[in-house]
Structure 1
Amino acid sequence: MPVCMACTPKRRRAMGKVKPQALPFKDAHDFWKEKLQLSPKEYYALSDEAKMKAFAVSGMARGDELAMVYEALTRAIEGKIGFEDFKKGLSDVWEKRGWTGVSAWRVDNIFRTNVQAAYMAGRWKQAIRAAGTRPYGQYSAVLDVRTRPTHTAVHGMVYPLDHAFWDTWWPLNGFRCRCTVKTLSERQVKNQGLTVQTEDMTGKLVEPVDPKTGNKVPARLLMPDPGFTYHPGKSAFGGITPAEGPGGLTDIGIRTFENYKRRKMDNLPVAAHHRFTDKDLLENKADYMQRTGHDSKAAEAHFVKAFLTEFGLKAGEVMVYKDVLGEAVVIGEDLFKTAGGKLKITKKGREKYLKLLARTIKEPYEVWLVPQKNIQTGRVILRRRYIAAFSDGPDNKITGFATFDYDRHGWEGVTAFPPDKMAYTDALRNGALIYKK
């Protein structure tokens, strides 16, 4: 009879010395590292789904303390520390703010809510990958004295992962929520005798059962806790159905320039304009190629160089430029490349206004944090939008404007000279106003 080497005494002794090591949840970390650190005021100006792309702590402005809390949570999500280490490592911060003793629940809330949100967003990314063989999700609540009645009411419900129910009920569904979702295959649903729901029960009256007593509690609307009626995973990673191609982005900022009592673009004070002349403009690509005889590739390189020169850079050089907020904008040739490495600097004819786009980054009139949704996947991103107005005549009337949208994955530049409608420019001023002249 063959001998099982894993069962020999020597092998068992060797295996007994192996210490299992916890591995970080990469998908949770992917969700967490995309978050932007904001002040509470900036954070609360965003829609609920856009807030999932941001990080803020009530009563804590952007700065060193917020960065310390963010970094500690990063280590927790990476599996390097637990709650006690998190609490102890930032004890000076908590004591300074009085979040000790009876107020220590604040620290627990910061830790549990953020770590669980990252993990459940990561679980959604896993569900997307496995949807072909595990197309169903089953809601799972803890069912103890701390479980909220509405969370108890949806415990055990099974829905297809692409059902609208999950747009509202994919956890996190409240502060310190511990609910999860189990994905299931067709065979598991059948073998366990589960019913796949087709009707979305959200918003209907239910009578949840108290898991401790078994008695029904008073009827209530079946809804997550206030402020949690969105899908954190979908906002971060998109939906189950893959996009047919590059999806367009649409602004979903809930506040506009009017909410901040800002003037319309066609009524800005003279001091808000940038003066420009013909020397601030470049010739377009076609004219440049005809004049110089250069091919398309050489023309693209010429325009990249013109933009980089505005920041004192040479071809191939990269810098981290700090904007008026102290936020980083990485300036370099890669800024103008597609995922495939192809230059895209002349898209929409913007090459003519590259110097003005550079000035918009350096000296904006406003900077907005704009939530944008991919209309095909549902994924939400947050971009900083730099806006500037330009004039070239003696009457100082606006003759053009430029916007520069930026996040760590790319940018989009928009210019209009002359603008057809200033209302279009005003429509771009939405989200959270994070800088103003």
Structure 2
Amino acid sequence: MMTPTTPPPPREALAYLRAKGYKIAWDYRDLWKEEHVRAFTVAKAMTQELLMEIRQAVDAALAEGKTFKQFQDELEPLLGKRGWLGKVLMEDGAMVELGTPRRLKIIYDTHMRTARAAGQWVRIERNKAALPYLRYGLGPSREHRLQHVQWEGLILPVDAPFWDTHLPPNGWGCRCRVRQMTERQASQRGGVSEAPEQKTTLWENRRTGKVEEVPVGIDPGWNVHPGKARLSHTQTLGKEKDIEFRSIVGTIR
């Protein structure tokens, strides 16, 4: 039974995580941006059974509010049985990290934060009539990226294009966040900000050879809005199912 002090499970974030399929990949760059919205992947986890165990651990951590230490302590014995702990020496002489503490922390942080961001966006959309603004805030990191510091306190409408690429998290280890605000709250904080100039830089994905523009201050691959991307994917699936349904019904005589 849930105690009064236990926070409720984050339903929207769990829905985002549980809607994903699986994708085996050697490198995180093998899947890109919106592809991570559709598929759960962990670089170098090369069997679906292994991916399923890691995903179940992430799911439990998200649903039950587990700390990274709890996540690590529960997952490591399972990974050990599958030989996916520590580092391994490849045939070409390269040393590859598998389930090291550093990588497990990245796995935990990345999946938890993106799921929560997607879940938060569902609530933002639901409440934007009463809370039409978002305020960018720095998280509890010891050090912050210069660009993220410059965005701290920025207040823009929920539908501002800026959030399409700059809704936190905005990179590996980024703990930035947004707070939804009423018009009065925004006014008390100085009013709506002028949207910052969105400078970009060219970046090459050496796994695919593709070159793209990435906003300055955003890690490559993180300039995607998980909430909107999931909504777009859901709408596309719905349209495909409608087309399939009409085609089947249309053949009945």
Task: Report the TM-score range of the alignment, normalised by the length of the smaller protein.
Answer: 0.7 to 0.9
Q: Shift in Å at residue 204 of structure 1? A: 6.3
Residues 160 and 196 in structure 1, CA contact (< 8 A), matched pair in contact too = no
Residues 141 and 175 in structure 2, CA contact (< 8 A), matched pair in contact too = no
The Cα offsets for residues 194-239 of structure 1, whole Å up to 9 and x where unpaired, read as 3332x3422169xxxxxxxxxxxxxxx7331111111111111359
The answer to whether structure 1 residue 169 and structure 2 residue 166 are counterparts is yes
Paired with 2:112 and 2:43, the residues of 1 have a C-alpha distance of 17
The answer to whether structure 1 residue 97 and structure 2 residue 84 are counterparts is yes
Paired with 1:64 and 1:227, the residues of 2 have a C-alpha distance of 26
Paired with 1:113 and 1:43, the residues of 2 have a C-alpha distance of 12
The Cα offsets for residues 246-294 of structure 1, whole Å up to 9 and x where unpaired, read as 9857xxxxxxxxxxxxxxxxxxxxxxxxxxxxxxxxxxxxxxxxxxxxx
Match of residue 134 from structure 2: 137
TM-score by length of 2: 0.76
1:385-404 to 2 correspondences below 5 Å: none
Match of residue 119 from structure 1: 116
Q: Shift in Å at residue 93 of structure 1? A: 4.6
Residues 113 and 177 in structure 1, CA contact (< 8 A), matched pair in contact too = no
Larger Rg: 1
Aligned residue for 1:97, secondary structure, equals: coil
Match of residue 223 from structure 2: 229
Quick one: which of 199, 204, 209 aligns to 1:203? 199
User: Unaligned regions of 5+ residues in structure 2, if any?
Assistant: 88-96, 202-214
1:146-295 to 2 correspondences below 5 Å: 146-197=143-194, 199-203=195-199, 222-238=216-232
For 1:170, give the aligned amino acid.
Answer: L
For 1:64, give the aligned amino acid.
Answer: E
Against the structure 1 CA distance between its residues 22 and 99, is the aligned structure 2 distance closer, same or farther, given a 3 Å change threshold?
A: farther
Paired with 2:173 and 2:21, the residues of 1 have a C-alpha distance of 21
Paired with 1:134 and 1:336, the residues of 2 have a C-alpha distance of 33
Paired with 2:238 and 2:161, the residues of 1 have a C-alpha distance of 20
Residues 10 and 63 in structure 2, CA contact (< 8 A), matched pair in contact too = yes
Match of residue 125 from structure 2: 128
For 2:199, give the aligned amino acid.
Answer: G
For 1:224, give the aligned amino acid.
Answer: I
Q: Shift in Å at residue 153 of structure 1? A: 2.2
Residues 58 and 112 in structure 2, CA contact (< 8 A), matched pair in contact too = yes
Percent of aligned positions that are identical: 25
Alignment: residue pair count = 224
For 2:174, give the aligned amino acid.
Answer: C
Q: Shift in Å at residue 193 of structure 1? A: 1.8
